[in-house]
Amino acid sequence: MDWQVFWIFIHVALLVYWLGADISVFLTSLRVKNANYSKETRMALVKVLNFVNWFPSGANMFMLPVGLMLADGLGHSPVTGWWLVLVWVAAFAWLRLIWVAGNKRGTPEGKRLSTIDLYLRYALIALLVVVGVMSLATGEPFTAAWLAVKLLLFAYVLCMGLGIRFSFANFGPTFGRIMAQGSTPELEKEITRLTYAVKPWVLLLWGGLVVMGYIGIAQPQF
């Protein structure tokens, strides 16, 4: 079995599920803000949104480990052997943390786990930027410039994800108030504002994923 082909397939599948599910989440959020829908319909849409959102969450967790598998196969990565195993263990542990935090949303433990996830993202973004810049400047530790650019783009995409996270943070509490207290013009206006505030971050994230996909296929010489 050609493992390089296998990991390329997984890498493409992750990109498809990340981008496709992300588009579905955004379009569903536009339906949720429709005040003409019944409470039951809007709640059903939110449940669909929360379920589909697990696909991009999982995809962004495993994009880096799969990318490192490919880079190792090409001989461009210092992350090999047991270091790769460690990366995979960390990815699964991180996904587990996100799962528990999501299931315990609104509780002290859920908030604590969400904060841990946030700081882990800060650390990963910083690491990707440092390693990407070093690799571009010196040719090490990653020996292909296009791969270094992909690392920087991945850091960029994660930053856009944080922008979405912060812009959309009050959506859940506001929607909960609508479900509990009933719709008011003020609450509906806030839901609409939050939905459109997140749009630039979403579009920028999608653009980053498309560019990452192109660079991964074209492997241009910088």
Residue-by-residue pLDDT tens, the chain, 222 positions: 688 899 999 999 999 888 888 888 888 888 888 888 888 888 888 888 888 888 888 888 999 999 999 999 999 999 999 999 999 999 999 999 999 988 888 788 989 999 999 999 999 999 999 999 999 999 999 999 999 999 999 999 999 999 998 988 888 888 888 888 888 888 888 888 988 888 899 999 999 999 999 999 899 887
Give the largest Cα separation in the chain, rounded.
60
* Domain span holding position 178: 3-218
Asked if 129 and 154 touch (Cβ cutoff 8 Å), the reply is no
Asked if 142 and 76 touch (Cβ cutoff 8 Å), the reply is yes
Determine the pLDDT at residue 14: 92
Nearest CA among 210, 77, 87 for reference residue 147: 77
Residue 221 CB coordination number (10 Å): 7
Determine the pLDDT at residue 148: 95
Q: 41: which residues sit within 8 A by CB, 6+ positions away?
A: none
Please give the tally of structural domains in the chain. Answer: 1
Nearest CA among 203, 222, 218, 207 for reference residue 26: 203
Find the radius of gyration of the CA atoms of the chain: 19
Half-sphere exposure of 4 (CA within 13 A, CB side): 6
d(CA 199, CA 172): 17
Determine the pLDDT at residue 155: 97
DSSP H helices in the chain: 3-32, 39-52, 54-74, 82-103, 108-138, 145-167, 171-181, 185-197, 199-218
Q: What angle in degrees, to the nearest 10, is found between the helix axes of 171-181 and 185-197? A: 160
d(CA 188, CA 207): 29
**CA distances, 156 to each of 92, 151, 201 (Å):** 22, 9, 11
d(CA 145, CA 139): 7
